[in-house]
C-alpha cells in the first residue's frame, strides 16, 4: 500500500499522458473536412498529416532504440506532455493569424505533438513496468486502456463541439484539448519516478536483436496493423461502403471501436492472465471481424464486425509488451523503443495499403461488374476489397503467435 501511494501521482501522470496521445493521433482526422473547406487543402495534403504523425513517432522510436543511453530518461518523460501542449497551441493559434500559411503551421504543430507521442510510446510503458505492483500485467493493460478511452472522449466531445459551435471554430477545440496535457505536465513535475535501465543489458548481451525480441517485434507490427487499420478506416468504411452519414461514421466507427478497445484492456487489467492465449485469440478474432466486415452486405453485421475488432485487437499491442517482459529478462528502454517502432511501422503500412488496394480495385472491371450484380457502387466494392486484404495481417499474426509459443517453450526447456 505504501508503494502504491508513493507512485500514485506518477501513475496518474502516465495515464493523462496516454490520453494526450489519443488527442494527438485523432484530432486531425476529425478535422480533415474542416481543413479542406477552410484552407482548400487537397486529400493528398490531408493524408500527409497522418504520414507525418507516424513518421515522426517512428523516428523517435528508432532514436531511442539505439541511443537511449544518451538521454536523461526522467527529465525527458517529465517534459513529454508539455510538448503536446506546445504543439496543440501552435496548431490552433498560428493558422488563425496566418491563414495563408495555414498548412505549414498545422504541419508544424503536428510534428511537435507527434514527437511527444513517440516519446510517450517509448517511455510510459517501462515506467509503469518499473513501479512495484502485485499485478504488473494489469497495470500495463490499464495504462494502454487510457489511450483507448481517450479516443472515445476525443471523438465524442470533438464531434459535439463542432455540431454546437461550428467547424469554423476548430481552433478553440484544439486549445480546449491542450489543457489536458498541461495538467499531465504539472503532475509529472513533482512525481516520483522509478529507476530505469536504458538498455536493460541488451547492448552488452546482444539481446536487442536476438530471435525472441525480433519475433515479438514482428508480432507487435502485425498487432499495430490490425488495430490501427480499422481504427483509421472504420468511419470511412461505414460512411462510404455502408452509406451511413459522417456523424454516424464517427460515432459508430471510431468511437464504438474505441469503446470496445478500452473495454478489452480494462477487463484484462482486472481479470487477465495467460497473455499468449489472449494474443492468439485476439489475432484470430480480428481476422474473423475483418472478413465479416469485408464480405457481409448486411450493414448492422458489418458495423458490428468493425466495432468488435476493437475488442479483438485491444490486447495485441500491450499484450506483446507484456509477453516480451515475461520471456526476455531485464527489459530496458531500448527494447521498449524497438517494440514501439514495430507497432508504429505496422500502423503506418497497413492503413496505407488498404487505401491503395481500395483505389486500385475500385477502377477494376471486376469491381464494376460485381457492383452491378450486387446493386452497389464500385467504390463500395473497392473498400471491402481493401478491408479483406487488411485481414491478412491478423491472420499472419495467428501463425506467428503459434510459432512463438513453440519457440519460447523450446527455449525455456533448453535453459531448464
pLDDT band at residue 4, thresholds of 50, 70 and 90? low
C-alpha 399/C-alpha 98 separation (Å) is 52
Residue-wise pLDDT tens digits, 72-90: 889 999 999 999 999 999 9
pLDDT value of residue 10: 94
CATH classification for the domain delimited by 1-196, as one of 3.20.20.80, 1.10.1060.10, 1.20.1250.20, 3.40.50.150? 1.20.1250.20
Residue-wise pLDDT tens digits, 196-255: 765 554 454 456 678 899 999 999 999 999 998 898 888 777 877 777 776 676 777 778
Quickly tell me which residue has 477494376 as its cell.
Answer: 364
pLDDT value of residue 204: 46
Other CB atoms within 10 A of residue 412 CB:
10
Same fold, 1-196 and 199-416: yes
Q: What average pLDDT does range 334-356 have in this prediction?
A: 86
Burial of 156 (0-12, 13-18, 19+ CB in 10 A): middle
Other CB atoms within 10 A of residue 138 CB:
19
For the domain 199-416, what is the CATH code? 1.20.1250.20
Question: Nearest to residue 113, comparing CAs of 172, 56, 36?
Answer: 56
CA atoms within 13 A on the CB side of 178: 21
- Is the pLDDT reported for residue 402 higher than 80? yes
Domains of the chain: which residue ranges? 1-196, 199-416
Q: Where are the alpha helices (DSSP H) in 131-274?
A: 136-165, 170-189, 202-205, 211-236, 246-248, 256-271
Amino acid at each position: 500500500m505504501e508503494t502504491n501511494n508513493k507512485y500514485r501521482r506518477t501513475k496518474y501522470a502516465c495515464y493523462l499522458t496516454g490520453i494526450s496521445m489519443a488527442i494527438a493521433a485523432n484530432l486531425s482526422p476529425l478535422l480533415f473536412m474542416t481543413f479542406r473547406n477552410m484552407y482548400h487543402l487537397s486529400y493528398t495534403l490531408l493524408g500527409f498529416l497522418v504520414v507525418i504523425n507516424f513518421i515522426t513517432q517512428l523516428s523517435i522510436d528508432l532514436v531511442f532504440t539505439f541511443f537511449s543511453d544518451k538521454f536523461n530518461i526522467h527529465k525527458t518523460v517529465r517534459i513529454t506532455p508539455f510538448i503536446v501542449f506546445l504543439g496543440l497551441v501552435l496548431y490552433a493559434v498560428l493558422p488563425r493569424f496566418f491563414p495563408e500559411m495555414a498548412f505549414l503551421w498545422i504541419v508544424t504543430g503536428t510534428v511537435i505533438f507527434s514527437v511527444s507521442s513517440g516519446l510517450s510510446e517509448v517511455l510510459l510503458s517501462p515506467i509503469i513496468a518499473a513501479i512495484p505492483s502485485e499485478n504488473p500485467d494489469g497495470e500495463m493493460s490499464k495504462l494502454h486502456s487510457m489511450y483507448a478511452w481517450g479516443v472515445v472522449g476525443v471523438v465524442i466531445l470533438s464531434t459535439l463541439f463542432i455540431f454546437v459551435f461550428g467547424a469554423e471554430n476548430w481552433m478553440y477545440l484544439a486549445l480546449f484539448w491542450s489543457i489536458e496535457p498541461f495538467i499531465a505536465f504539472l503532475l509529472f513535475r513533482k512525481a516520483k519516478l522509478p529507476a530505469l535501465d536504458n538498455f536493460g543489458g541488451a547492448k552488452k548481451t546482444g539481446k536487442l536483436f536476438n530471435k525472441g525480441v525480433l519475433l515479438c517485434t514482428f508480432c507487435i507490427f502485425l498487432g499495430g496493423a490490425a488495430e490501427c487499420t480499422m481504427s483509421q478506416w472504420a468511419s470511412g468504411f461505414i460512411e462510404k461502403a455502408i452509406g451511413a452519414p459522417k456523424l454516424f461514421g464517427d460515432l459508430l466507427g471510431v468511437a464504438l471501436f474505441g469503446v470496445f478497445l478500452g473495454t478489452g484492456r480494462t477487463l484484462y487489467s482486472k481479470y487477465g492472465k495467460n497473455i499468449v492465449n489472449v494474443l492468439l485469440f485476439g489475432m484470430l478474432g480480428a481476422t474473423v471481424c475483418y472478413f465479416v466486415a469485408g464480405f457481409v452486405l448486411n450493414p448492422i453485421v458489418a458495423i458490428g464486425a468493425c466495432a468488435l475488432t476493437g475488442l479483438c485487437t485491444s490486447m495485441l499491442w500491450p499484450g506483446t509488451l507484456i509477453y516480451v517482459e515475461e520471456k526476455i529478462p531485464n527489459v530496458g528502454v531500448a527494447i521498449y523503443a524497438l517494440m514501439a517502432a514495430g507497432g508504429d511501422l505496422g500502423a503506418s503500412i497497413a492503413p496505407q495499403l488498404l487505401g491503395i488496394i481500395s483505389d486500385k480495385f475500385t477502377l477494376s472491371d471486376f469491381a464494376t461488374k460485381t457492383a452491378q450484380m450486387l446493386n452497389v457502387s464500385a467504390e463500395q466494392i473497392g473498400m471491402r476489397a481493401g478491408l479483406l486484404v487488411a485481414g491478412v495481417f491478423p491472420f499472419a499474426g495467428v501463425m506467428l503467435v503459434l510459432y512463438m509459443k513453440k519457440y519460447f517453450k523450446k527455449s525455456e526447456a533448453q535453459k531448464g
